[in-house]
A = this chain, B = another copy of it.
Amino acid sequence: MKEIHVGLIGFGTVGKGLATTLLQQRDRLRQRVGAAVLLTRIADTAITSLPEEFSSVLFSRDARDVLTDPDIDIVVELIGGIEPAKSFILAAIESGKHVVSANKALLANHGREIFAAAVKNKVEIGFEASVGGGIPVIKALKEGLVANRIEAISGILNGTANFILTQMTDHGAPFAKVLKDAQARGFAEADPTYDIEGIDTAHKLAILMSLAYGLHVGVGDITTEGISTIEPIDIDFAREFGYRIKLLAISRNHGSHVEARVHPTMVPEDHMLANINGAFNAIEFTGDTVGDILLYGQGAGMMATGSAVAADVVDIGRNILSGSINRVPALSFLPEFIGEPTITPMSALTCPYYFRVTALDKPGVLSKISGIFGQCNISIKSVIQKSRHADEPVHIVLMSHQALEADVVRALAEIDGLDICTAPTMKIRILSDDHE
């Protein structure tokens, strides 16, 4: 029986998920691959012992023990973060080992250097687990949808942010309270910045865009806004107009330039993305051949992520066994065909908008505000004005037709400068299926 030897760096949640998966699926993988896929060595700085079921696995606190083990074919990096993960991965590549990683932050920030090193050293890099947890989304882009020009990507890529928005929607609770609950229940990290401010989503979008378009997209190319400013009142108004608020990664392929943005988005309630709740992820692609495709599943978690890492290990294992390393280019396109992106400036973005203006309840306010929108070429589709107690400011909610972001910025600067406006206007972009 042939054997594929795997070394693991990082024995945290996902590392344990991979180790458990390879053990539990041992017979099934042998029957599918025609070889034993064996985890032979684990390194983790905090490791002192291994659970009994892994008694045949060597372990140490030093990643070099994995990196220098000549028997190891594939190094799996699951420690996350930039360093030392980056050094470990580059060391593995330079010693001719294949690499599997779930590290989206690293790939979105230093992918170019890492992929170049892999090409130079003729090794493979698998990163299915970096986006969408156990959903085989990377494979879909690189292989299943290979005969497509991808025209649009829309996705819910961060389970924590989606969990928080779902809780806010279901219970009408404010962001801060829901976040605290989520942290207490283990659904959000102690430092939730990456999740709630859209940074993690931007990392993942950079990876998807690179594969979809054959462009070197980095996290710096992506305009990113988080969900911490969303108030329950916006969720209520969204519902009143037939929308749900979701943190979406959005990209549109305009050919000469591509949109790249992460922000809270109003999604029509009958759209599939509006109904992805809790910690689940979903990614929608529009291909010129296939039309709309949506992939849904758990976007994180020990076992779901373990499933994706194990699939990469098997994929590379099959290439080792059949002598077909780099059978599919790591970035979907051959390196010589990968270009530099031209990102659509946000000011040139066109979409429908939701505005919530907070103003004193005085005669002529609505006329003044709608006048400014009109002067800025923003056409209003519907308005709700709700008075509450006298003396209190009112919320004037306006839904626009397609409008230019530059015009919106100009209008809001003027509106927010009015004496009668008592708080900055809330602006939320609306998902529109017009792909051009």
Name A's B-contacting residues (CB within 8 A).
21-22, 24-25, 28-29, 31-34, 128, 134-136, 139-140, 143-149, 214, 272, 275, 287-298, 301, 303-304, 306-308, 310-311, 314-315, 318-319, 321-324, 327-329, 332-334, 337
The answer to whether B31 and A333 have CB atoms under 8 Å apart is yes
Q: How far in angstroms is the closest Cβ of chain B from A178? A: 21
Bound Cα distance A311, B293 (Å): 15
Q: How far in angstroms is the closest Cβ of chain B from A73? A: 16
Using known A-B contacts A28-B147, A140-B136, A332-B32, determine if residue A289 contacts B275 with beta carbons closer than 8 Å.
no
The answer to whether A307 and B332 have CB atoms under 8 Å apart is no
A338 to B, closest residue via Cβ: B31
The answer to whether B293 and A134 have CB atoms under 8 Å apart is yes
Contacts of A319 in B (CB 8 A): 324, 327
Q: List 12 A-B contacts (CB under 8 A).
A: A25-B149, A25-B289, A28-B149, A31-B337, A32-B332, A34-B334, A134-B290, A136-B136, A143-B314, A147-B314, A289-B304, A294-B294
The answer to whether A294 and B297 have CB atoms under 8 Å apart is yes
The answer to whether B144 and A128 have CB atoms under 8 Å apart is yes
The answer to whether A136 and B147 have CB atoms under 8 Å apart is no
Bound Cα distance A301, B291 (Å): 10
Bound Cα distance A148, B314 (Å): 12
Using known A-B contacts A21-B289, A290-B304, A323-B323, determine if residue A310 contacts B29 with beta carbons closer than 8 Å.
no
Contacts of A33 in B (CB 8 A): 146
The answer to whether A310 and B24 have CB atoms under 8 Å apart is no
20 new A-B contacts at CB < 8 Å, known A28-B148, A295-B296: A32-B146, A33-B146, A34-B329, A136-B143, A140-B140, A143-B314, A143-B315, A144-B308, A144-B311, A146-B311, A147-B310, A147-B311, A290-B297, A290-B307, A293-B296, A295-B295, A318-B324, A322-B322, A322-B323, A324-B324
Contacts of A328 in B (CB 8 A): 318
Bound Cα distance A303, B327 (Å): 26
The answer to whether B307 and A145 have CB atoms under 8 Å apart is yes
Most chain B CB inside 10 Å of its own CB: which residue of A136, A292, A323: A136
The 5 closest A-B pairs by CB, nearest first: A136-B144, A147-B310, A324-B324, A322-B324, A134-B290
Contacts of A144 in B (CB 8 A): 128, 136, 139-140, 308, 311
Bound Cα distance A214, B27 (Å): 12
Most chain B CB inside 10 Å of its own CB: which residue of A32, A34, A146, A303: A146
Contacts of A135 in B (CB 8 A): 293
Bound Cα distance A304, B287 (Å): 9
A138 to B, closest residue via Cβ: B144
Contacts of A292 in B (CB 8 A): 297-298
Using known A-B contacts A25-B148, A314-B143, A324-B319, determine if residue A272 contacts B296 with beta carbons closer than 8 Å.
yes
A280 to B, closest residue via Cβ: B292
Q: How far in angstroms is the closest Cβ of chain B from A130? A: 14
Contacts of A289 in B (CB 8 A): 21, 24-25, 134, 303-304, 306-307, 310
The answer to whether B297 and A293 have CB atoms under 8 Å apart is yes
Contacts of A22 in B (CB 8 A): 147
Bound Cα distance A318, B334 (Å): 13
Bound Cα distance A307, B140 (Å): 12
Q: How far in angstroms is the closest Cβ of chain B from A307? A: 4
A294 to B, closest residue via Cβ: B296
Bound Cα distance A226, B279 (Å): 36
